[in-house]
């Protein structure tokens, strides 16, 4: 296949066109020009875009990463030559699906190419699956190492070991594997299914036997429950019959009691026939009781009224004297006592008598005898008078002290003051006593008048007894009337409740009460219902399982089928082991052929320095330089040498797997030195004679080396 041109609206590419020539195309452009975008565009146009991929935190899905920056729909076109035919491939956005629309037609005539579809386009044009092309003919500098892929391994195996790329050996192996899987694969094979069916039939038979046992047990329990329920029903009938007998006795007693109450009512009514009405009795009793309460209160008041107060008397020396006269006598005695107590006159007379005696003696000395006699006489008179005056005052005071009992005149009138205050209180008490007595007498007169109106000549107590008898007779009659009404109502209620009840059918030995019997019957009904449900479920399950004879026949057929399948599986296992042994022998051949071709390429790129190269089944490489005697892993080589090793291997794989497909290199020679870069470009030129090669690079060395 040869590509003429590519036109893309893809990522940063907006309607841009890339034209390619036959042979080697070296496209030099700076970073971020779009080289990797053109590579991704070519893959998307050939194999489609995975729209189910989701973006993660570390990477973007291609549908997001290469969404056109301009916002235009994603679309593209490739003009190419395939098997001598010029074909145009177009993909465009369909609805919300990028590159979901596909067209393939002949460029000149526009006729559709029917064998190319959106799903098989890349595989038909390049001859390999997408994963094989990415590992063989699509070489990026970032992923030069060849990683293992089942599709590439299978294609290499068929091509190198048998020379036949049709895959008949793999198809045979797949057929054997498919037949074995049909016989036994997890739970979906025929043998596991048959074994599962056998286990199912065995389980059904075991379950059927268990269900039959359970049904027998359930029926036995139902029979026992029915017997228990019959005994409880009979006991309930016996309780109802006993209760009916008790109700009949109560009804007879109620009828007797009603007759007795009716008779008592007639007796009470006859006794009240000639008595005054009950309301009159109640009115008279109320009046009499009120009157007697007032009478008793009046008598109590009479008993509580104190006696008339006694008038106070004057104490000695005032006994029998009016108060004013007593006060006047006390005043005069107080003045006399004060005068008797005055000693100044007697002292003055004694002094004058003494002085007169002195004067008489002086005059006698002067021989004035007449004046002396006169002075002496006057002096004697003064002295006698002074002595008499003093004695009279003492006698008067003694008499007054004995009369009043104290020599303090100020206290002589105190008894009069006490008498006066007691007299005032007595007069006040007397006034109150007279007023209370007068009021009591007035009310007593009114109460006697009221007694005459109520009782006439009869005693109040006698009338009270009579009216109480009337009231009690009427109240007893009313009580008898209420009791008779109650007795009739009770009799009517018992009569309505009385129902004839049949005797129990059999002898009853149970002792439970009616409530307990009802609860036990309810439990029996619930248990019967539960057992009936379980029995129905068991019988329904037995019906769904089928008859035992049919299940046993099916189990016998399934045993025969399992034996046949196991025999077939053993035969397929032997065939598969034989085929695997044959293929293992052939697979030992393909590694030398690939590694020999890769070794030739490596020797050209390294000027013969590396002469030995091996590749493991996982595509791991080991190489030896000219001076080395042993092979070493690539970890012992420089980065540039590792790139050259893997480029040689990728070129060899591409030559084998994709001989007619373009070879795409994207910065695959970045770490080559100038000498080995020139050798690699010469190798690519030779290879480009038979296929189209596109080499994208960000350096100008590749073009100069070419």
Distance CA 474, CA 478 (A): 6
Q: Bridge partners of 581?
A: none
Averaged pLDDT of the chain: 80
Alpha helix (H) ranges present in 456-513?
A: 460-497
Alpha helix (H) ranges present in 305-413?
A: 323-340, 344-365, 369-404
Distance CA 542, CA 215 (A): 10
Pairing of strands 2-10, 75-82: antiparallel
Would you state the pLDDT for residue 159? 43
Q: How confident is the model at residue 478 (pLDDT cuts 50, 70, 90)?
A: very high
Distance CA 689, CA 394 (A): 191
Angle among Cα 179, 183, 189 to the nearest 5 degrees reads 115
Annotate 20-72 with DSSP letters as a single string: --SSEEEEE--TTSSHHHHHHHHHHHHH---TT----SS---HHHHTS-TTSP
Distance CA 696, CA 369 (A): 200
**pLDDT tens readout for residues 154-189:** 554 544 443 344 445 556 667 767 777 777 766 677
Pairing of strands 97-106, 138-140: unpaired
Could you identify the residue written with the tokens 């009950």?
278
Distance CA 626, CA 612 (A): 8
**pLDDT tens readout for residues 591-629:** 667 778 888 888 888 877 776 666 555 455 555 565 654
Q: In what order do the strands lie in the sheet with 97-106?
A: 13-19, 2-10, 75-82, 85-94, 97-106
Q: What is the mean pLDDT of residues 672-687?
A: 88
Distance CA 658, CA 134 (A): 11
**pLDDT tens readout for residues 132-154:** 888 777 887 655 554 444 454 55
Would you state the pLDDT for residue 630? 45
**pLDDT tens readout for residues 333-389:** 778 777 765 545 555 655 666 776 667 677 667 766 666 667 666 666 666 565 566
| pLDDT exceeds cutoff 90 at 641 | no
Angle among Cα 26, 27, 29 to the nearest 5 degrees reads 145
**CA distances (Å), origin 602, targets 365, 375, 510, 632, 652:** 204, 201, 110, 15, 10
Cα 242 vs. chain centroid, distance in angstroms? 55
* pTM, rounded to two decimals: 0.44
Structure tokens at 641: 């040498």
Q: How confident is the model at residue 294 (pLDDT cuts 50, 70, 90)?
A: confident
């Amino acid at each position: 296949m040869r590509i003429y041109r590519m036109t893309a609206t893809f990522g940063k590419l907006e309607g841009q066109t890339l034209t390619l020539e036959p042979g080697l195309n070296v496209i030099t452009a700076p970073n971020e020009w779009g080289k990797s975008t053109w590579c991704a565009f070519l893959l998307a146009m050939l194999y489609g875009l995975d729209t189910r991929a989701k973006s993660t935190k570390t990477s973007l899905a291609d549908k997001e990463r290469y969404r056109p920056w301009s916002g235009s729909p994603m679309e593209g076109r490739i003009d190419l030559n395939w098997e001598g035919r010029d074909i145009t491939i177009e993909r465009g956005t369909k609805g919300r699906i990028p590159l979901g629309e596909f067209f393939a037609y002949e460029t000149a005539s526009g006729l559709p190419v029917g064998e190319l579809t959106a799903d098989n386009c890349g595989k038909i044009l390049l001859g390999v699956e997408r994963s094989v092309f990415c590992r063989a003919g699509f070489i990026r500098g970032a992923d030069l190492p060849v990683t293992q892929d089942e599709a590439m391994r299978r294609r290499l195996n068929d091509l190198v070991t048998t020379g036949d790329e049709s895959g008949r050996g793999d198809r045979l192996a797949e057929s054997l594997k498919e037949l074995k899987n049909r016989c036994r694969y997890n739970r979906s094979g025929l043998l596991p299914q048959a074994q599962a069916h056998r286990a199912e039939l065995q389980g059904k038979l075991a379950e059927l036997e268990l269900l039959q046992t359970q049904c027998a047990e359930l029926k036995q329990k139902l029979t026992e429950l029915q017997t228990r329920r019959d005994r409880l029903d009979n006991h309930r009938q016996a309780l109802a019959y006993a209760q009916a007998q008790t109700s009949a006795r109560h009804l007879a007693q109620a009828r007797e009691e009603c007759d007795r109450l009716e008779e008592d009512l007639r007796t009470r009514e006859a006794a009240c026939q000639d008595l005054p009405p009950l309301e009159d009795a109640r009115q008279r009793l109320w009046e009499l009781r009120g009157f007697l309460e007032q009478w008793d209160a009046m008598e109590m008041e009479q008993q509580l009224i104190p006696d008339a107060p006694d008038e106070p008397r004057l104490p000695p020396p005032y006994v029998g004297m009016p108060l004013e006269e007593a006060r006047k006598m006390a005043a005069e005695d107080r003045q006399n006592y004060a005068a008797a107590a005055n000693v100044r006159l007697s002292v003055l007379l004694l002094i004058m008598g003494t002085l007169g005696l002195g004067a008489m003696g002086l005059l006698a000395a002067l021989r004035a005898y007449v004046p002396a006699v006169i002075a002496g006489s006057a002096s004697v008179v003064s002295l006698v008078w002074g002595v008499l005056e003093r004695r009279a005052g003492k006698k008067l005071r003694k008499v007054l002290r004995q009369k009043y009992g104290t020599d303090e005149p100020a206290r002589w009138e105190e008894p009069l003051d006490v008498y006066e205050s007691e007299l005032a209180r007595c007069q006040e008490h007397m006034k109150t006593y007279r007023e209370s007595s007068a009021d009591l007498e007035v009310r007593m007169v009114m109460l006697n008048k009221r007694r005459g109106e109520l009782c006439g000549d009869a005693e109040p107590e006698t009338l009270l007894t009579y009216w109480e008898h009337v009231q009690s007779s009427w109240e007893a009659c009313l009580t008898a009337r209420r009791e008779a009404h109650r007795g009739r109502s009770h009799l009517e209620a018992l009569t309505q409740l009385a129902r004839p009840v049949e005797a129990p059918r059999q002898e009853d030995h149970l002792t439970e009460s009616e409530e307990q019997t009802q609860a036990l019957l309810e439990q029996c009904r619930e248990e019967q219902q539960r057992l009936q449900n379980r029995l129905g479920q068991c019988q329904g399950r037995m019906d769904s399982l089928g008859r035992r004879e049919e299940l046993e026949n099916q189990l016998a057929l399934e045993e025969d089928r399992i034996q046949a399948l196991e025999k077939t599986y053993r035969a397929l296992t032997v065939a598969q082991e034989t085929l695997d042994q044959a293929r293992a022998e052939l697979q030992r051949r393909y590694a030398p052929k690939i590694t020999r071709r890769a070794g030739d390429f490596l020797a050209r790129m390294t000027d013969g320095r590396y002469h030995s190269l091996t590749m493991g089944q996982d595509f791991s490489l080991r190489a030896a330089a000219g001076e080395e005697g042993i092979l070493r892993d690539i970890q012992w080589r420089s980065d540039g040498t590792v790139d050259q090793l893997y480029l040689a291997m990728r070129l060899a794989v591409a030559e084998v797997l994709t001989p007619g497909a373009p070879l795409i290199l994207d910065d695959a020679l970045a770490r080559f030195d100038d000498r080995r870069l020139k050798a690699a470009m010469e190798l690519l030129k030779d290879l480009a004679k038979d296929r189209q090669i596109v080499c994208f690079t960000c350096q100008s060395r590749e073009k100069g080396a070419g």
